[in-house]
Amino acid sequence: MGKSRAMPSASAAPSESWPWPLAIRASAAWHVAAIGAGALVPGAMPWAIGAIVLNHALITGAGLTPRSSLLGPNVTRLPAAAGARRQVAITIDDGPDPEVTPRVLDLLDAHGQRATFFCIAERVLAHPALAREIVARGHSIQNHTARHRHNFSFLGPRGFASEIARAQDILADTTGQRPTCFRAPAGLRNPFLEPVLHRLGLSLVSWTRRGFDTREGDPAKVMARLDRKLQARDILLLHDGNAARTPLGNPVLLEVLPLLFERLRAERLHAVTLPEGLEP
């Protein structure tokens, strides 16, 4: 778990059939074997039920582990080519926020850095001009669902398709750019998600490390989490929506970003958008 897989280029179209991950194929075979043993071997039914419960626990655990790739491809780092280019990706979730996002854009411009905003589509509907400004200023908007539902990881195929496809349409209609990347709320999911993403031409992207800036108001502590083993190819997670506040009431993201930019300069790293960083 946690191992990233190769990601197709932004222009790549999905293939006609979904390539079932090895873990899902193994899970299906495990179910068949357990049911068969329970039906055919005297006294084996309790063991068969236990085996199925264990399998479900493993699959559930993978869905509750945002950086896991057991349920399908999951980008946790940029490709090797981005490392050669000394690139990292700063991803900013849960916006756009009319108070915080414009100030984030000004900071990015002032430091010559680029970011990817995983936006909630209904917030884009509420602030369309701000979403268009994000794109006009050289950044990228990607899919973070239509509503950021707290029960997202419990949805089935129809629920996933409805939530994600609606977000795709809203974001494309508003910004003129159709997302190629998707991030689940809190990174949580289940085995039904990947086939939907495949059909919609989206790649799941999680992160290398996160600042936990929705609950931590101390910029130094948020920065320490991001700075731990910081290197080229990292995907960093921060938030403009639901941002925690410093003791003085300032969104913590706004105090973390200058610290992060200084650190990037010291390491000769440059922040780019995900579509740029994922180019081979």
The catalytic residue positions are: 93, 239
Nearest to 117 by CA among 249, 126, 155, 137: 137
**Tokens 């995983």 correspond to what residue?**
118
**Cα–Cα distance between 196 and 160 in angstroms, integer?**
7
Burial 88-120 (b: 16+ CB within 10 A, else e): bbbbbbbbbbeebbbbbbebbeeeebbbbbbbb
Q: Cα torsion at 190, 191, 195, 200 (round to 10°)?
A: 10
| Residues composing the chain | 280
